[in-house]
A = this chain, B = another copy of it.
Amino acid sequence: MQEISRRNFIKIGAAGALALAASSASATQNAKDVKFDEEYDVVVIGSGFAGSMATLQALKRGKKVLMIEKMGRAGGNSVINAGNMAVPNNEFQKAAGITDSKEAFIADCLKDGLNLNHIDLLGVIYDRAGDAFEYLKSIGVEFSGKVISASGHSLKRAVQAKNASGSGYIQPMHKAIEENANAVIKKRTKFDDFVVDDSGRVVGVKCREEYKFDPQLASDDRENKSGEVKFFKAKDGVILAAGGYSSDKWFRAQQVPYLKDNIETVSQPGATAGTLIAAMKLGANPLQLSWIQLNPYTNPSEKGFGTSALFSNHCANDYGLTVDPKTGKRFMNEHAGRKIKTEAIFKCMAESENNDNYPVNICDQAAVDANNPVYTSKGVEAGSIKKFNTLEELAKFYKIPLEPFLKTIADFNGYVKAGSDPEFGKPLTKADVSGIDVSKAPFYACQTSPKILYCMGGVQINTKAQVIDAASGEPIAGLYAAGEITGGVHGASRLGTMSMADCMVFGMVAAENI
């Protein structure tokens, strides 16, 4: 082998031999062996909230930016997001007379996060979410004007897009990027690896253009060889904003073996671990990869996120109640964090042999009216949310024993009146939780079963969004990350509306520091 290597060395010359040496140890490319096809100041991997915000903020600083997206559609999971963003101290929160605090914000996150959160990163989100919000308004993102509640938060602190969807952010963000002469967006362009210089600094990326993602493959990252290799220089550095690995069936199941192939996810099929794995091989410290969140609002009869999840979350869980159809009784604090609710729902489902004793989320017309009407109308049209003229009809439809069910409703209404839930500690002090007005039809209901929603784990970053090397504990020069590809922010469980805050803030911070 050594003989052949020496002969090759003479034949292909020094640069070629250096390339061989580098590629044998790791797929990472050395800049000396690379002829860049295009040159930019900043390369951003991913086109969702984090990637788009990073791109915009880098453009604002006069940088020439390339944003790549492996899928044919830009926006990642962000365009199918519900469009709610935690922004402590936002104008709508103030108008509603709510006083927020850093202590309350961090305490809320730590509670569901089981104290695994990196508090310094939560502090950055608290301090900077307002800046991100102001910027988003300045480029034309339209907000509903309401401050809304979300599971796990002790007070209302989220703003919401007027169209109740992440697309309400992504569309104006991408429009602003497209209008900027310093920006290039390349779709169907897959990141394969980093290019580093002799000091180990990240100075570019190896990609494939004309890449065609194939959802039929067991692992697109491993098997898909489509596209043409290109090298893009990133003079100032690379920002990772490639999202999570909810759709990476192999990778997620090694971390959490019970997440079998047939468990559904609300993420788009491109949410795979490839970029994260390349970063780990470069030395990035992987944090808390085995914490994968399930969404307790999804419906077993629907594909993906479906049309009923916002109803279950905001109308039923916030304003109404959830019952076990076998007993007719409540079994959880409907306002608890996702992890607690997911575990309670899985336990309820397991009461039937086929694991299909799906809990029923219930609310009245007042709860529907208090929320964005599309939360309910879409699901009613699709048939996943059912509308009933009487509670008796509702009980009959879901095979809930009537008497205990009616007693549960009466008890719950009593708790709402008293302002306290002695059974499960649901916070009922807010005027909004109205209980179920039994005198006013119609009533709404929807089954629920958890689906994979979000990966809390990812690469470690510091408060400047620099990726941290596991061996040295220091930043990897030229490498930044933001959003779901990072770990540590949310600990064991991300609260609702915190993903967008995380993406927007650290996308912005990465671009400010690159």
Contact = CB atoms under 8 A, between A and B. Distances in A.
Contact of A471 (B281, B286, B291): B281
Contacts of A513: none
A321 to B, nearest CB: 28
Interface in A166-207: 196-200
B197 A1 contact: yes
A5 B32 contact: yes
A4 to B, nearest CB: 9
A258 B30 CA distance: 39
B287 A254 contact: yes
A452 to B, nearest CB: 15
B26 A257 contact: no
Interface string A287-325: 111110000000000000000000000000000000000
A425 B290 CA distance: 30
A287 B255 contact: yes
A60 B446 CA distance: 64
Interface stretch (A12-20, A70-78, A231-239): A12-20
B196 A25 contact: yes
A257 to B, nearest CB: 6
A25 to B, nearest CB: 4
A33 interface: yes
Interface stretch (A82-90, A113-121, A148-156): A113-121
Contacts of A25: 22, 25-26, 28-30, 196, 200
B277 A470 contact: yes
Nearest to A18: B21
Contacts of A219: 473
Copies of this chain per assembly? 2
Interface string A245-281: 0000011001111100000000000000110011011
A24 B194 CA distance: 13
Interface in A451-483: 457, 460, 468, 470-473
Contact of A24 (B1, B196, B471): B196
Contacts of A468: 254
Contacts of A27: 471
A16 to B, nearest CB: 11
A419 interface: no
Contacts of A26: 25-26, 28, 282-283
A48 to B, nearest CB: 23
Given A222-B471, A470-B251, A198 B18 contact: no
Given A25-B26, A25-B29, A286-B289, A17 B20 contact: no
10 contacts: A1-B199, A14-B14, A21-B21, A21-B32, A26-B26, A118-B257, A119-B257, A254-B460, A286-B289, A288-B290
Given A25-B28, A280-B280, 18 more contacts: A1-B197, A5-B198, A9-B14, A21-B22, A21-B33, A21-B198, A22-B25, A24-B198, A24-B199, A25-B30, A26-B283, A219-B473, A222-B471, A222-B472, A254-B287, A277-B471, A278-B471, A288-B290
Interface of A: 1-2, 5, 9, 14, 17-18, 20-22, 24-30, 32-33, 115-119, 196-200, 219, 221-222, 250-251, 254-258, 273-274, 277-278, 280-283, 285-291, 457, 460, 468, 470-473, 488, 491
